[in-house]
Amino acid sequence: MTAVDGSSIVVASANGAAHRRAKQVAGELGLPVVKDWRTAPALVALVIDVESAALQLLGDKPPGPVTIDFANPAMEYRRKGGQNELLGRAVGVRQGRALSVFDATAGLGRDAFVLADLGCRVLMKERSPVLAWLLGRALDAAGISASEHVRQAAKRMQVESGDSRLSSVSDGAVIYLDPMFPERRNNAAVKKDLAVLQALHGSDNTCNELNEHSNEQLFLWALEQPTPRIVVKRPLKAPALARKKPSHAVSGKAVRFDVYVLGDLP
């Protein structure tokens, strides 16, 4: 699968009222705009509505659209779940401690939002310009949400577009990595999200070895940064990234967080 940003992704309007906005977004992202995404010769369509946007995987029997909305019921449900506590423990969240986190694989931003909701300041880095654009729009919407906790979390989040490996992490920031790894994705909704991320990032299930090599390169970059801690999200039974044994791990039912302690947290 070829990386799609700028090549195999198109922009389309959801309806006639959104056509002008779709053209504006397409120009901003440097992408072609089409009248009907259903017949577009592409892998993914960024479908623009008057006040919203979604990613639509194309092809035979495509799944439903993928959106980024930090105030939706699914995020609210997750906010009350145990995995948030696991992630917070792995990163080092503690009452009275204001941590900075560099999320090097932002994706749909859900873990980043959880960390911000737990009180962390989070910089999301996303190498897909389209995803980075969507994350920016999601933060704008979260900033005017009716939910106080959503607005407060959004204030602690930033997003940048680009390859994390070309970035320098601020001294003392925890680095968080969530490499794409199909084995842990086992329900329809998560598979849909993964398929869109794979299309945008130019990877698929046929090249897991190449993907893992890229993940290892990202991990090696992280080890060179002035960070006190690296946290890597992995499937529960998967080997450690780059076969490097973590200092410890925080495990749940389906995933675990490998923690590499390199110094003292601020």
| 94-113: pLDDT as tens digits | 987 889 999 999 999 999 99
- 204 has a pLDDT exceeding 70: no
| Full set of structural domains in the chain with CATH | 9-57 (no CATH), 73-261 (3.40.50.150)
Residue 114 is predicted with a pLDDT of 95
Residue 4 is predicted with a pLDDT of 40
Q: Give 208's pLDDT tier (boundaries 50, 70, 90).
A: low
- 183 has a pLDDT exceeding 50: no
| 226-239: pLDDT as tens digits | 999 999 999 999 99
Q: Give 192's pLDDT tier (boundaries 50, 70, 90).
A: confident
Give the span between the Cα atoms of 121 and 154, in whole angstroms.
10
Dihedral sign, CA of 90, 161, 117, 188? negative
Answer for the pair 114, 255: CB distance below 8 angstroms, yes or no: no
Residue 207 is predicted with a pLDDT of 47
User: Pick the residue with more confidence: 183 or 66?
Assistant: 66
- Six-digit token string for 171: 């001294």
Answer for the pair 135, 160: CB distance below 8 angstroms, yes or no: no
- Where are the alpha helices (H) located in 81-155, listed in sequence order? 82-91, 110-117, 129-142, 148-155
Question: What percentage of the chain exceeds 90 in pLDDT?
Answer: 69
User: Which run of H or E residues covers position 261?
Assistant: strand 255-261
Q: Give 212's pLDDT tier (boundaries 50, 70, 90).
A: confident
Query: Residues 6 or more apart from 223 whose CB is under 8 A from it?
Result: 230, 260, 262
